Amino acid sequence: MLMFFYFSTFFLCGLWVFCMDRKHLLITLLSLEFMVLSLFVLMYYYLCGFNYEFYFVIVFLVFSVCEGSLGLSILVSMIRSYGNDYYRSFGMLQC
Amino acid sequence: MPNNSTKILLLTTLTSGILISISSNSWFGAWMGLEINLLSFIPMMMEKKNIYTTEASLKYFIVQAGASSMLLFMVMMSAMEESMLINSDNLYTQMLMNTPLLLKGGVAPMHWWFPGVMEGLNWNNCLILMTLQKSAPLSLISYQINNDMFLEMIIVTSVMIGAIGGLNQTSLRKIMTYSSINHTGWMMSAMITGNDMWVTYFTIYSMLTLTVVSIVKTTKLSFVNQMAMTEKKNKLTKFLVFTSILSLGGLPPFLGFMPKWMVIQAMMTNEMKTTATMMVLMSVVTLYYYMRMTYSSLMMLHLETKWLIAQPINKTPKHIILLTSISITGLMMSEMIMNLD
């Protein structure tokens, strides 16, 4: 039960920073990586109960690294078109 | 800027991601499919390299990546909880697992990213975003759905927001977005009542969206006032736009009425009269803004600007005429076939 609270706090801290609309986009991407890290620990803990079948951890890491690099490439294209990565400059498509 | 072969590759991986996620045995497989889908749609959005596509892809990426990691967290936590505790409360588990999927599909209380993303894309990607990208989250929801207060609330809010949000819009992309949100509410109620009825609804909705988008794409319209300024002699285009939009709104002689009819029928038999009344009323509101899109262009004395570039009348592509004639006569044809025996 203690592990539940630990994982929840770990993940929700990352989610809090992810949703908090900080100054830079890079912070959001970093907090996404933080969430991925908490998911990694959670998955490690979970798969210990399945006869230590850790092969899915590899798949998870591959996908999350792809996601992180896609986020970085979006950051690069953002900087190339706006000149900065501030959240304040993203008002182009407001509805 | 992807060229054609890149586009083929990305479209293949996008579709295979959807297939992996809807046909997987476990939630991990479903998560993997959703992730492949996201990773292949983001480069497709960057068709033209400008400020709009960049921001749209950024918004889409942030929302979808957050939602997929939340989904994985919820899945693992609920699996561990079920293995540990004996009487775990199932209602909240289902609610928590549905919420990231609803966020991914752009269903109403979690819809705020959807109009902004649609505004920055070209029409092809808008079509993919409205139809293909919704199919994986919606089918994952349909696997674990049951009729409770939470989903009824989701249905009512998505139908209402889809109707009311589109009222004051001038951009055709936003109007299509809000109509998509509205139709998603109908699809959710089709999921609750029938077994595979939402697949029928989804297929017919996708076809009607394809019709409207292909007309709008060839005539290069993107705002409501441009629709009113189409050429006076070009009656065929006006007719095609008008009928296909009425069909999307679900007016009786056209094809778009058929899935709504089925859903209303099933909801009546399942004693969901209040929700059904709400949905029908809100669909009248959507019909109002569909009508407002096209009505002024059908006036006899409407404005025609001097700088209008005349489009040749006989250049209307054949597939548009085919799609529109299906959407006009589809309901009558299917009724005739069913009553033939």
ipTM of the complex: 0.94
> Do A4 and B81 lie within an 8 Å CB cutoff?
yes
Pick the residue of B32, B37, B61, B172 with the most A CBs within 10 A to test the interface with A by mutation.
Answer: B61
User: Which residues, in sequence order, are CB contacts of B221 under 8 Å at separation 6+?
Assistant: B172, B227, B230
Greater confidence (A94 vs A51) lies with A51
Pick the CATH number of A1-93 from 1.10.287.3510, 3.50.50.60, 3.40.50.300, 3.90.1200.10: 1.10.287.3510
Nearest-CA residue of chain A relative to B116? A93
Of residues B190, B129, B179, B134, the one with CA closest to residue B293:
B179
**Measured distance between the N- and C-terminal CA atoms of chain A, rounded to whole angstroms:** 44
- The DSSP secondary-structure symbol of B230 reads S
Of residues B287, B123, B293, the one with CA closest to residue B216:
B123
Residue B323 CB coordination number (10 Å): 21
Pick the residue of B76, B81, B122 with the most A CBs within 10 A to test the interface with A by mutation.
Answer: B76
Which of A28, A66, A92 shows the shortest C-beta gap to B39? Answer: A66
User: Which residues, in sequence order, are CB contacts of B291 under 8 Å at separation 6+?
Assistant: B246, B249
- The answer, yes or no, to whether residue B155 has pLDDT greater than 80, is yes
B55 contacts on A by Cβ (under 8 Å): 78, 90, 92-93
CA atoms within 13 A on the CB side of B98: 25
User: Which residues, in sequence order, are CB contacts of A82 under 8 Å at separation 6+?
Assistant: A89, B51, B54
Least confidently predicted of A45-49, A70-74, B14-18: A45-49
> Do A90 and B56 lie within an 8 Å CB cutoff?
no
Q: What is the model's pTM?
A: 0.92
Residue B310: predicted pLDDT: 60
Residue B41: predicted pLDDT: 94
Question: How far from B62 is each of B59, B113, B339, CA to CA, in Å?
Answer: 5, 10, 50
pLDDT tens figures, B229-266: 666 667 787 888 889 999 999 888 899 999 999 999 99
Residue B133: predicted pLDDT: 93
> Do B51 and A92 lie within an 8 Å CB cutoff?
yes
